Amino acid sequence: MHTRCDKLFYLVCDRLPRERAVGLLTVDNEPLLREAVARGHGTYTAMAHHGALHVVALLMALRGYKLAGVRDRQEGALRRWVQHRLDVLYPELGRMRVLFADTFPREIFRCFEDGYVVASAMDVSRVRFGHQKTEEVTIFGERRAFLSGPLRIAIRCGAPALQAFVIPEPGFRYRLELVELLADPRGVTDEDRAVETAMRAYAANVEKFVRAWPSLLTRA
C-alpha cells in the first residue's frame, strides 16, 4: 500500500505548485545537513532500502539541493518519465545525477568535488560486482556484507557522512530524518577503523528503524 501510494504521488508531482510540493517535506535535523554542505567538499548520505527514496529525492531537489544518487543500472521507466516532466517544468533546477553501481568510482569523486549531496543505500541483499568495497556488520543477529565504497570515498574527499531515513506521514507528507553524523573526515586518522565504526552505527540504526516501521522495508 505504501509503495503504490508513493508511486501515485510521484506521478503527479509535476502537477503540484512548487511551493506546495516543497511544503510536503519535513527535514528533521536539517542544520546538520546544511553545515555539512557548507564545508564545500560535498556530503554523503547513507540511506537504506526503507521508505520512498525517489519521492524525497525529488522534493529535496525542489528545495535546491544538488543531488546525486548511486543505484543499479536498471533505471525504471517511471523515474525517467517523471524526471523528463520535471526538466520541462523546472529547467533551472538541473536534474538529479544518477550514478550506476557498476561504474568506476571517479564519478563519485567528481560529485563530491562539485559539492553534491551523494546518496546511496548500503544495506544490499547481495554484492553484485567484485570491485565493490564491503564491510561485514551484524544486523538482526546475522553477519551481512554491506557496501562501504561511497563511505570510503567520502572520507577521502573530506565529505561528511550522514545517515537518514524516509518516513511517510498522513496527507502525502514525508519526513527525512537525519539520524546522525556517521563519519567526520576532519577527525579521521585511521580510515579502516572509521569505516568499521560508522558501519556498526549504520547497521544498528537500520535495525532500529526497520523494527519501528517494518512496512516501509523495500528489500529483505
pLDDT, tens only, 133-183: 889 999 999 999 999 999 999 999 999 999 999 999 998 899 999 999 999
Read out DSSP for 63-79? TT--EEEEE-S---HHH
Nearest by Cα to 122 from 203, 214, 23, 211: 203
**CA neighbours closer than 13 Å in the CB half-sphere of residue 37:** 13
Counting as low any pLDDT under 70, the low residues of the chain are: 72-76, 92-95, 101-102, 126-131, 219-220
Sign of CA dihedral 209, 211, 212, 217: positive
Give the number of residues written for the chain.
220
Tell me the whole-structure pTM to 2 decimals.
0.88
Residue 16 in grid coordinates:
503540484
User: How far is it, in rounded angstroms, from Cα 116 to Cα 70?
Assistant: 12
Domain boundaries 2-216, corresponding CATH code: 3.40.1130
Q: 176 and 164 in contact (C-beta within 8 Å)?
A: yes
Domain ranges of the chain: 2-216
In terms of DSSP H, where are the helices of 66-148?
77-89, 106-113
Neighbours of 24 (CB within 10 A): 19
